Amino acid sequence: MKQFLIATVIAGLSLTGIQIEAQVYLDARQPVEKRVKDLMKRMTLEEKVAQMSQYVGIEHMKKAEKEMTVEEMRKSHATGFYPNLHSSELEELTKKGMVGSFLHVVTWKEANYLQSLALQSRLKIPVLVGIDAIHGNGLYNGATIYPTPIGQASTFDEALVEKASRETALEMRAAGMHWTFTPNVEVARDARWGRVGETFGEDPYLVGRMGAATVRGFQSNDFTGSDKVIACAKHFIAGSQPINGINGAPADISDRTLWEVFMPPFKACNDAGVFTFMMAHNELNGVPCHSSSYLMTDVLRKQWKFDGFVVSDWMDVERLHDYHRVAPTLDQAYRMSVANGLDMHMHGPGFAESIADAVRTRKISIKRIDEAVSKILEAKFKLGLFENPFIEGEKVDQRIFTPEHQKTALDMARKSIVLLKNEGDLLPLDKSKKQRIFVTGPNADNQTILGDWVFVQPDDRTTTIIEGLRQVAPENEFVFYPFGRNLRKMQPSQVQEAVQQSKGCDVAVVVVGENSMRYHWADKTCGENSDRYDLSLVGLQQQLVEDIHATGIPVIVVLVNGRPLSTEWIAETIPALIEAWEPGSLGGQAVAEIIFGDVNPEAKLPITIPRHSGQIQTYYNYKFTSKWFKYATGNSKPLFEFGYGLSYSRFKIGAPRLSSGELNPGGTLQASVEVTNVGQVAGSEVVQLYIRDLYSSVTRPVKELKAYRKVHLQPGETQTIRFDLSEKELKFYDEAMNYVAEPGEFELMIGNSSRDADLKKVKFQLL
């Protein structure tokens, strides 16, 4: 009925005296291309550049206007602030059709309200609502929260990542949101950087596979329809190897590193059909990404044939003027960015007026504007917003945190938790013993398990670790000592009280790590703009672990964190160590199930864990000479290697066999290996294949991941795993930056981690 009324009203309107006749753009039966063309010919220049303009949600603005000082808002990287534009004035702009998109609209009621404002405009173009739904629609109250991306990558399960993304898309559309600012496919090469947990780790191949799976989940084969959303590959590019580990700091890297490490995951997302790219905060080799015609035009559109639109990140176009200082005025910053390939501005006033003036004065061509606007409108048509702009509020609760979504979140959490150490088979704990178990630590009973990009969620939709332990093993006695969530404010008296309370218990579970809660921004130690120069445990957490260990009680340490932590003493001293990452809504249950053996851990590390921040960079695919000498002090080896993770099963991986010792150009070589579960319980193993080019025209890494396969085996069961290799897996950029596979000898390595001791090798020739 709403669609009919809207169409009826529009049909009766007069546009500056010209009656709308064939309203092709309102006819859902027409091809999208035809609808876009029809609408654009009706639009004024001002209406076009308005589609390129994004603003924060009105409620977001109202909250800032009420609670923050002007100075606080100016310094904030998360709260919208427009010095000369009040929220009421933004409402009027929306009614006039001068807003194309909103971000961080976190309720369906606000989404509906904004659409109702947009439908009062001359052409009735709906607004596109974007949000950071990074691992579930976490800024929406009551949503299903999945493990953060670093945990998703630990599953080595692309189908599961795609499924969780598909479910997130359904929850987003139920709440009135159409565009997610994910996946973050930056390759994490510096653990000091706070956003490591938002990525899929350190390996270009794994990151690309996970990123493409995320895109497919959100968009499906084509994002047409009312149950899909558009994805956004970000941040383009190299912000994950910043100087000093600081978010947005310069990235100074070679073309070889750019193309061999950082570009492949973005290319994988483009090949998967991602419809938007977001530019990076940083400069790349002296050129800010937001003004780079090389990145936005030469690479994306000309080389990769990208067919969507490019959006800026939070106020980064303005930073061309005031931070990077490559544009003497804001007008020049706006024009430089759009002329070089930017399509939508995040966020705020001034941009649209400046771009319209630039077109009128022929500083920017109308063709460039039309290119941008046509893609934004294409998204709105494909998403069905012209036909269905509103949300049926009474159905929202039926579509979020559904039993199916909870099941997926729990399954992913179980498969994302990495068992790093299990000395003396302390784990799993035996439920039948009815032990007295001491539980403590600042992350044992709060929503740190949800990670960054999540607002406070209902307690009945979040299972903390102590809750999970009580739920999974109710016959045991749990002695719990609570700490506050603020890691920085732990008191020595609290540690002493916890130690005293632990005495007489049979075992201790100590939950430590980091805090990514963005709604307690000043307390964060991890997440966006929470970078560190040190990777040790914050506050008195280390002392807490050491003092409880000193009592003689067997200790299990559970890490809840979004980045690798250099817990060398714990790894060497404590008998059991679990890396839970930030496992989401049902993460506490998953951790408990692993501790008590209801679930057999199967996750693998998607990133190397260093012993110390001084080891950065310590990724597995290094060049030989970067580690040919040991450090003069300390252990030079990583604490835990990429691809590493234990199980309650034991797996035997045989020697790899090749179908031939030679690979012909254009041909295929098959590598096979037998995997046997020689343990007592069923379990899953991730079989990993690495390649080394033994002699080449330029220096190559000591090993590179080229394939992986997860296999589930019953006790005593053997399966043969096969991998097909071609020239594609052997290619690299030569001295002239040509992408080639050079004839010669290669080493193939297969095992269950990147650690040399876990790999078996065989050689072959590329002819």
DSSP 94: H
Distance in angstroms (rounded) separating the CA atoms of residues 743 and 274: 35
38 phi, psi to nearest 5 deg: -65, -45
Q: What are phi and psi of 680, to 5 degrees?
A: -100, -10
The secondary structure element, H or E, covering residue 511 is: strand 507-513
Query: 451: how many CB neighbours lie within 10 A of its CB?
Result: 34
C-alpha 416/C-alpha 156 separation (Å) is 9
- Taking the C-alpha atoms of residue 617 and residue 668, their distance in angstroms, rounded to an integer, is 35
Nearest to 277 by CA among 310, 250, 244, 228: 310
d(C-alpha 141, C-alpha 125), whole Å: 28
Report phi then psi at 101, rounded to 5: -155, 150
DSSP-derived secondary structure for 358-426: HHHTTSS-HHHHHHHHHHHHHHHHHTTTTT--S--GGGHHHHSS-HHHHHHHHHHHHHH-EEEEEGGG-
Interacting residues of 145 by C-beta distance below 8 A, sequence separation 6+: 135, 136, 138, 409, 450, 451, 454, 457, 462, 584, 585
DSSP notation for 529-544: T---S--SPPTTHHHH
Helix, strand and coil percent figures for the chain, each rounded to 5: 35, 20, 45
Contacts of 657 (CB under 8 A, 6+ apart): 671, 672, 673, 762
Q: Among all residues, which ones are annotated catalytic?
A: 313
Residues 6+ apart with CB under 8 A from 336: 291, 320, 326, 327
Q: What is the dihedral of CA 292, 297, 300, 305, to 10 degrees?
A: 180
- Chain-centre distance of CA 598, in angstroms? 29
The answer to whether 6 and 124 have CB atoms below 8 angstroms apart is: yes
Beta bridge partners of 19: 14
What is the rounded distance in angstroms from the CA atom of residue 376 to the CA atom of residue 549? 58
In terms of DSSP bridges, do strands 101-103 and 683-693 run parallel, antiparallel, or are they unpaired? unpaired
Query: Across-strand partners of 421?
Result: 577
> What is the spatial distance between Cα 12 and Cα 300, in angstroms, rounded to a whole number?
42
Residue 79 φ then ψ, to 5°: -115, 125
Tokens describing residue 696: 């080449």
Helix (H) / strand (E) element for 279: namely strand 276-279
H helix intervals, 452-577: 465-472, 492-502, 541-550, 568-573
